[in-house]
Amino acid sequence: MKEAEQKTTHFGYKTVATSDKVNHVADVFHSVAAKYDLMNDLLSFGIHRLWKRVTIASSGARKGQTILDLAGGTGDLTAKFSQLVGETGKVILGDINDSMLKVGRDKLRDRGLVSNIEYVQMNAEALPFPDNSIDVITIAFGLRNVTDQSKALASMFRVLKPGGRLLILEFSKPEHEVLTKLYDMYSFNILPQVGKAVLNDSESYKYLAESIRMHPDQDTLEAMMKEVGFEQTSYQNMTGGIVALHRGFKF
């Protein structure tokens, strides 16, 4: 057997061939795409909207800029960025999953947001843009699903302009043990049951809970950002560290 065929990675708590993970993740998001927004509201009690507002406020987005909303899914960030960059700017909603991309495109078009938004199916590990071409990159709740996160971070660094910034909004490690226990109880018991009740799909939400636990903690992710070249890195814990917003700049 060839060495490349022997490489493995995690899919939640399962070990899978590295080459297969992208297809497993795709199956999850094909399943949840149609009711992704509803499930976000139900499972986060609407708090995801606050997390995203903080991300947008931290972006420094302004008129005329080019912004990449990576793993942008159903377009919550894209909608606001479209207004901030105006007619002279551009927002690219990028996602590896075509089902999520279609839901996002339909939702934004229904809201009349069409003139400065592009939709591109892409893999975060090999972004299809020239070097030094993007002002701001955001990736919200998407990095933990990427097979090679370091490769994706390097790709983001490459396409950012000097002075550009990356913002990573992602589930992380709670700051307190009591909160960790409560969060685990919720994630592994209630979350899959809600997925079963609403989507008849508990397995996808079981994976999502597991993928959060497999994701690097706050300090590890910040170190990974520095490793590929980001400077002035920092992170902000929200909701007791259940979610963290990481920032980094390219100079």
Fold topology of 9-174+208-250: Rossmann fold (3.40.50)
- Bridge-based pairing state of the strands 134-140 and 90-95: unpaired
Whats the size of the chain, residue-wise?
A: 251
Under DSSP, the state recorded for 233 is E
Q: Are 173 and 242 in contact (CB under 8 A)?
A: no
**Which residue, chain included where needed, has tokens 């989507």?**
199
Please give the Cα distance from 149 to 231 (Å, whole number): 18
Q: What is the chain's pLDDT, residue by residue, as a tens digit (251 residues)?
A: 444 456 899 888 888 899 888 887 878 887 888 788 888 888 899 999 999 999 999 999 999 999 999 999 889 999 999 999 999 999 999 999 999 999 999 999 999 998 999 999 999 999 999 999 999 999 999 999 999 999 999 999 999 999 999 999 999 999 999 999 999 999 999 988 988 998 888 888 898 889 999 999 999 999 999 999 999 999 999 999 999 999 999 99
And the tokens for 211?
Answer: 């993928």
Annotated binding site for S-adenosyl-L-methionine: 74, 95, 123-124
Nearest CA-CA partner of 21 in 182, 193, 211, 156: 211
